[in-house]
Chain A
């Protein structure tokens, strides 16, 4: 999830205040939302009171991964608008948001994976609707626009990269030539606006500056390179990968998130790690894999010791935050699972299993559409990251982590039983 573009610090603050006021006013339009809001706030308050910040201990979780997956998938399907776009979030104050092209794009692989692993044909149908909705949004340049649907027409590197993920996956699934062409057009645009040092900055980048979490864009390029067997995109991905790796400190911290007016949320740190890790796998870059291991292990250690990862960090992973960024947690689970896959180190799997247990525990399985199966922005709900909202990209990343958990544990457990 990226933000709309071109904010200065002051502007960003004013926009956030205006957004909060506007969202709160939504409660007047939908007074039926008051009861669920109060109930959910009370639940989180109780959890905090009795368990301090690390209450949601995995020892108490009895929820099945498959059951949770179905709930999360249902949340995503419910968030899909009739035209095919997926809402960015469900606000406890104002209800569903507009459709969000970026999230709609990179949720496509999740929907196809759900379809395959859970046998849910409706998930594949939803992926096809999402793809159909996205194609007309592509600009003549090949780029995709920033922000929520209808909010603006500025081309965005990050959103184009994220949507490219979806297009590449949809092309692999369907082999449709129009999807291949759309993906190549997006990738060509990304390659054209890439800086000589491998980064993306300028008007197409958020706040006009380069960001290390754009490694997610590199991942999409590397995936396309493999899908269409054209190394030019892979080399563009590696140019950015090298630029991002330059920002890894020996301590494990990663510079270059560069978000003015926002803290370094775990979500963005995990984006960097996911992007670099997937590029490392696709491009067989052992140096990048080693680089990802250091911060991933640091976060694993923090999580194992404290049973909690703070929502945002200062350099060198210092943090006094008392809320969790649930999306970042789900992403870290996926990073650990992928590292387990790459290294066979069971400690990654161990941490990911615990993280998934915790995430399953805070997921509301009951409630109206928009709440049941939704991943909150923060735990507690009033934490700083996407407060009072259930967010579609949180559901996407949790579904990814749970799908990967199932995929990796089934053969392991079958093998141990044999």
Chain B
């Protein structure tokens, strides 16, 4: 099966981890198409949004993490996948050269150059690990479709900040692997799994990191099932635009963190009594 990865940046840890896991399972990607790590318009927008000082701090933290903290990952739960020998994979180029697949940088995933490259690779399946909103022309290229990992249960929680909204709306935390279609997280569902280990998440970032690691395993399971021909998708039954959520405000994020703490306390109480 010819698999192509669509990635948000060559330095995306989850993209690297997905590529590593698929390669280890014998599904070495045909190629990875990624957006550049720094893009002029994004940089200008970030300066406008955050200010020069915060952008400089962010850039500094990235540079330091690459040079001084060679073996530290933003998401520690990906350590097992990204470790090789005594070092770790820092970018897609390193993963590509290890497992033998090309990494191509594009300006826009829907752009003509990307479409031409993807058509040349002629994939059966594309795995989206982040980037632009995908348009119809791109979605029609792979024979089987484009799949995505969503950090929430579909159809209950669509859109952004899914782990936080799950906590705030009393929907179990979980992940969904689904086809991408023209809507936002509205494509047919391939696998939907509740996250079993909420009690061991000590912060929202920790929950998100654990969900990513959990979800990458589910992507691999879905691809393996594709390989065996044993998977089918089901349309989302409650197609309702009201299930779309947007980026959560910091003050509500604090509320979500409190709910997470409550979950932990409840689990601890159960353990103490059990």
Spell out A's residues near B (CB within 8 Å).
Answer: 50-52, 55, 57-60, 297, 301, 304-305, 346-347, 349-351, 353-354, 357, 409, 412-413, 416-417
Name the B residues within 8 Å of A304 (CB-CB).
Answer: 246-247
Question: Does B249 lie within 8 Å of A50, measured CB to CB?
Answer: no
A50-B47, A60-B49, A297-B242 given as contacts; is B247 within 8 A of A409 (CB)? no
Stretch of B221-229, B250-258, B264-272 with 4 or more beta carbons under 8 angstroms from chain A: B250-258
Name the B residues within 8 Å of A412 (CB-CB).
Answer: 255
Q: Give the shortest distance, in Å, between A260 (CB) and chain B (any CB).
A: 34
Question: Does A60 lie within 8 Å of B249, measured CB to CB?
Answer: no
Name the B residues within 8 Å of A55 (CB-CB).
Answer: 48-49
Name the A residues within 8 Å of B51 (CB-CB).
Answer: 60
Spell out B's residues near A (CB within 8 Å).
Answer: 44-45, 47-51, 168-169, 242, 244-249, 251-252, 254-255, 258-259
Name the B residues within 8 Å of A347 (CB-CB).
Answer: 245-246
Question: Does B252 lie within 8 Å of A353, measured CB to CB?
Answer: yes
Name the B residues within 8 Å of A409 (CB-CB).
Answer: 251
Nearest neighbor of B159 in chain A, beta-carbon distance: A304
Name the B residues within 8 Å of A59 (CB-CB).
Answer: 49-50
Question: Does A57 lie within 8 Å of B48, measured CB to CB?
Answer: yes
Question: Does B48 lie within 8 Å of A50, measured CB to CB?
Answer: yes
Question: Does B255 lie within 8 Å of A416, measured CB to CB?
Answer: yes
A-B contacts besides A55-B49, A58-B249, A347-B246, 10 pairs, CB < 8 Å: A51-B49, A57-B49, A59-B49, A59-B50, A60-B51, A346-B252, A353-B249, A353-B251, A409-B251, A416-B254
Question: Does B248 lie within 8 Å of A350, measured CB to CB?
Answer: yes
Q: Is the interface of B mostly helix, strand, loop or mixed?
A: helix
Question: Does A416 lie within 8 Å of B249, measured CB to CB?
Answer: no
* List of 10 A-B pairs having minimum Cβ-Cβ separation, nearest first: A51-B48, A304-B246, A416-B258, A57-B49, A353-B249, A50-B48, A416-B255, A350-B249, A55-B48, A59-B49
Nearest neighbor of A304 in chain B, beta-carbon distance: B246
In the bound complex, what is the Cα–Cα distance between A55 and B48 (angstroms)? 6
Question: Does A413 lie within 8 Å of B249, measured CB to CB?
Answer: no
Name the B residues within 8 Å of A57 (CB-CB).
Answer: 48-49
In the bound complex, what is the Cα–Cα distance between A347 and B49 (angstroms)? 22
Q: Give the shortest distance, in Å, between A45 (CB) and chain B (any CB).
A: 13
Question: Does A413 lie within 8 Å of B251, measured CB to CB?
Answer: yes
Question: Does B252 lie within 8 Å of A350, measured CB to CB?
Answer: yes
Name the B residues within 8 Å of A301 (CB-CB).
Answer: 244
Name the B residues within 8 Å of A297 (CB-CB).
Answer: 242
Question: Does B242 lie within 8 Å of A346, measured CB to CB?
Answer: no
In the bound complex, what is the Cα–Cα distance between A354 and B246 (angstroms)? 11
- Of B45, B169, B255, which is within 8 A of A51 by CB? B45
Name the A residues within 8 Å of B49 (CB-CB).
Answer: 51, 55, 57, 59-60
Name the A residues within 8 Å of B246 (CB-CB).
Answer: 304-305, 347, 350-351
Nearest neighbor of B247 in chain A, beta-carbon distance: A304
A50-B44, A60-B49 given as contacts; is B258 within 8 A of A346 (CB)? no
Q: List 11 A-B contacts (CB under 8 A).
A: A50-B44, A51-B49, A57-B48, A57-B49, A60-B49, A60-B50, A304-B247, A351-B246, A353-B249, A412-B255, A416-B259
